[in-house]
Amino acid sequence: DMKMVEKVGLVKFDFLGLRTMTLVQDALDEITRQGKTPPDLDTLSLDDAETYELYSRGDTDGVFQVESSGMRQYLRMLRPTCFDDIIAMLALYRPGPLGSGMVDEFIKRKHGEVPVTYPVPSLEACLQPTYGVIVYQEQVMQIAQIVGSYTLGGADLLRRAMGKKIAEAMAEERTKFVQGAQKNDIPKEKANEIFDLMEKFAEYGFNKSHSAAYALISYYTAFLKVHFPVEFMAALLTSEMGNQDKLLKYVAACKDMDIEVLRPNVQVSRREFTVHEGRIVFGLGGIKNVGDEAIREIVDAREEGGPYASLLDMCIRVNLRKVTKRVIENLIKGGACDCLGCTRAGMLASLDTVVARAQKKLKERDSNQVSLFTMIKEEPKVCPGIGFDCEEQTAPEWPDDQKLRFEKEALGFFLTSHPLQPYRKELFRLRLTPLEEARDMPPGAEIRTAVLVTTLKELMTKKGQRMAFAGVEDLTASAEVVFFPEPFAEARELLKSDQPLLLEGTLDKKADDGNGGQGQGGDDEEAAPRDIKIMGAKVMPLAMACCSSDEPVIVELDTRRMSADYLAGLRAILEKHKGTVPVNVHMVVDESLCLLQLGPRWTVQPGPVFENDLNKWTHGGM
């Protein structure tokens, strides 16, 4: 073990396997595939202003070590402008420094709200990068050398003694430090004051070399996200292929970045998520029950023989022992075969016949038998869709709700259109908490969130009353909600409906370690995501919640398009959706953001239909 290794004079090394390194390489490879020049990370400048702006906005989905809501909050407060700020933030975002107020002190000094001071002038070079705050273990060692005349080895022993709070060793070290300081003309009283300061911060001090290495990887991911967003997000989705919650979260993040994520496509998709014409194509590896061998068959046959002409053509060209009927069924349900020119309903209904025909053709081909009619040369009839004339070729598509349910069954989440997607702006207006952010909230915290019920399991209590466990999800994560008898009795009918709901409750989960899931202190890359458990108190239809809130609806007015017709379009929408919710207008005039409050005549009934009409008007469609 570590201590025995040290006793015999050897050095212990920890090698961390970081999935993020694969993510970075995948992003670089995708950039190259797109015909662009990837950045050389070995010579990458660490002063890119746009990258620090991304940190300052807290737009850090997928950025290494800084994704948690708590870290985003501190980054927005810090507004980092240099690489040293990122190193320090990763070192400070831990239970000790957060609880001691060190982080707030650091941020205030950064912005000049508190003056930057140094115990003695000779420590300015050592403490300047952290604005006079002792953040790192290395700074403790440097202070021991500069002030106390320690050797490097002696300074390391002092650091250990302070970190482990060994009283006897500390008393000896204090005497040694004060004597060394006096040699540098530092009075005994001042030396003791500096030693007390070191002792206080050594308890929280973090290893800078570890933090700097992590900060560099964090900077790589942030830089790639800023300058190559589509390629980076494709690599990020690939890295989380087996994690449905993370895929859901990052697909939603892509939509926030105006990056379109296309459904899987047997004509284009590879195993991983890829970029095609500026959009991300869903990877075949993200479809349930579609294994790597089946994917290799589909991709290799396509690259060897060109695009698939039909479902039958694909079944003939792939090995059906690897690309089984179950695999094809999931490809159809997930939308990967839409490109073949037939409805999903038609393809699934004809699948047994298609597979039987393909197997027959393969059997004939492998038997080496020649029939009289095969000797007559004729051009094969290319029939897109299923591949031959049949009733299913013109079958109508499933209803939208069934189509979405099958899509979710195959992909693990709604890709084409989540039932909550039309409410995205309303979720912000109502100030609802995304489920993903609940991971960083303390136990017992109250939460208001918009959810879709995915499962409902009813139980009988010992008193003979009904209670339930509900599985719910939103656009970012999934959770379990416990409804005890009284709230369940009120919520039961709504929980059984398919409509989006506004859920109110309290968080019931294990106490947070204060680390925001950063995993910074251990040998793992990151802590496993915590399960989200909520004690349900109340639910109501989300559509009703949108109409009952008096929080104003915000309409963005483009002054560059200002005309009578433009304003008439807005007026028509407001009159069409007459309701009780006030409307505010945002418009930029002479580089100033102006807020206009419309009068009571123009109150509206917000919701998906209103939002859809507003989007059409915004993009010139009305």
Per-residue pLDDT reduced to its tens digit, 445-465: 999 999 999 999 999 999 999
Burial class (CB in 10 A: 0-12, 13-18, 19+), 479: buried
> What are phi and psi for residue 363, nearest 5 degrees?
-65, -45
pLDDT on residue 166: 76
Tokens of 303: 């690259």
pLDDT in tens, 196-228: 988 888 778 899 999 999 999 999 999 999 999
Of 44, 194, 172, 52, give the one whose Cα is nearest residue 126.
194
Cα(577)–Cα(611) distance, integer angstroms: 10
pLDDT on residue 82: 96
Cα(39)–Cα(28) distance, integer angstroms: 8
**Polymer length in residues for the chain:** 622
Q: Which residues pair with 279 in a beta bridge?
A: 276
What is the DSSP code (8-state) at residue 47?
A: -
**Whole-structure pTM value:** 0.81
Q: How many CB atoms lie within 10 A of CB 338?
A: 19
Cα–Cα distances in Å, from 154 out to 119, 278, 484? Answer: 21, 57, 61
510 pLDDT above the threshold of 60: no
pLDDT in tens, 79-133: 999 999 999 999 999 888 888 888 999 999 999 999 999 999 999 999 999 999 9
50 pLDDT above the threshold of 70: yes
Cα–Cα distances in Å, from 604 out to 349, 555, 571, 614, 620? Answer: 45, 12, 11, 12, 21
621 pLDDT above the threshold of 70: no
List of residues 6+ apart from 389 with CB closer than 8 A: 383
Report the chain's mean pLDDT, rounded to a whole number.
89
pLDDT on residue 370: 57
Tokens of 302: 């396509």
pLDDT on residue 513: 41
Judge whether 530 and 517 are in contact, CB under 8 Å: yes
Judge whether 238 and 272 are in contact, CB under 8 Å: yes
Q: Which residues pair with 478 in a beta bridge?
A: 473
Cα(446)–Cα(19) distance, integer angstroms: 34
List of residues 6+ apart from 123 with CB closer than 8 A: 143, 146, 147
Which of 16-37 are b and which e, b meaning 16 or more Cβ less than 10 Å from the residue's Cβ?
Answer: eeeebeebbebbbebbeebeee
What's the mean pLDDT in 304-309? 95
| Half-sphere CA count of 103, side-chain side, radius 13 A | 21
Judge whether 456 and 464 are in contact, CB under 8 Å: no
What is the DSSP code (8-state) at residue 393?
A: G
pLDDT on residue 518: 41
29 pLDDT above the threshold of 80: yes
What is the DSSP code (8-state) at residue 150?
A: -
List of residues 6+ apart from 422 with CB closer than 8 A: 607, 608, 611, 612
519 pLDDT above the threshold of 90: no
What's the mean pLDDT in 145-157? 93
Q: Give the torsion sign (CA, 198, 202, 204, 206).
A: positive
